Amino acid sequence: VEFLYCDLASMKSIRQFVQRFRAKNCPLHVLVNNAGVMLVPERKTEDGFEEHFGLNYLGHFLLTNLLLDTLKQSGTHSHNARIITVSSATHYVGELHLNDLQSRCSYSPHGAYAQSKLALVLFTYRLQHLLTANGSHVTANVVDPGVVNTELYKHVFWVIKVAKWMTAWLFFKTPEEGASTSIYAAVSPEVEGAGGCYLYNETRTKSADVAYDEELQRRLWTESCKMVGISDESSRVP
């Protein structure tokens, strides 16, 4: 195990991390996009993005795109490289506001968090479409870990914290249990070559209907490229 620092809330840090990783000339067989914040008060990243959208979504969008070439070089016909992105059941109630992705008009911690998790599902489906169109030996899937007992809940109301403390043993997964579906997506032979899936409890599950809107996927991808400052290679793919 080797640690390389990367702050997903900083576009500069992400680019520096990718440079350091590439300098090692290592293959990249599995990328798990797992970092995130939840229900934080309204605040911005150093790049000026609303924190949920900037860290949970745009950070992973940029990181994945900058590592795509390495992933494509590492995958083979029999052993695809794999991208696993961790979303949440909260995406089912999320709404994507393309005209206000930064939640400037009306900020709601719940709404901003749900939007970031919906964006991750839309991103994964569009990414898989592009990978398939290019004939790449890389798959992209999205995972719902379930309700996991971690520090992610530190910004919820105190009443919920008390309820969580009292019931976590019964209703919450342990971090190990919460990681199981991500591990399944990363290494299981059962999903070899399968992409564009929403996985929950190691099972392919239907995501929110809006997540399958291909026009919305395309528009979000194009806007995301503009926001993080990369070229939109997808414009040549139908």
Average pLDDT, the chain: 88
**Is 107 in the active site?**
no
CA distance 85 to 4: 19
Of the pLDDT bands very low, low, confident and very high (cuts 50, 70, 90), residue 148 is: very low
Instruction: Convert the pLDDT of each residue in 14-35 to its tens digit.
Output: 999 999 999 999 999 999 999 8
CA distance 189 to 184: 9
Instruction: Convert the pLDDT of each residue in 159-177 to its tens digit.
Output: 444 444 455 544 565 767 7
Contact 80, 27 (CB under 8 A): no
Q: Which residue has the tokens 């992105």?
A: 85
Q: What is the DSSP letter of 5?
A: -
In the predicted structure, residue 152 carries a pLDDT above the cut 80? no
Instruction: Convert the pLDDT of each residue in 124-139 to its tens digit.
Output: 999 999 999 999 999 9
The domains of the chain, with CATH numbers, are 11-236 (3.40.50.720)
**Residue percentage of the chain with pLDDT more than 70:** 86
**Active-site hit among 57, 113, 125, 198:** 113
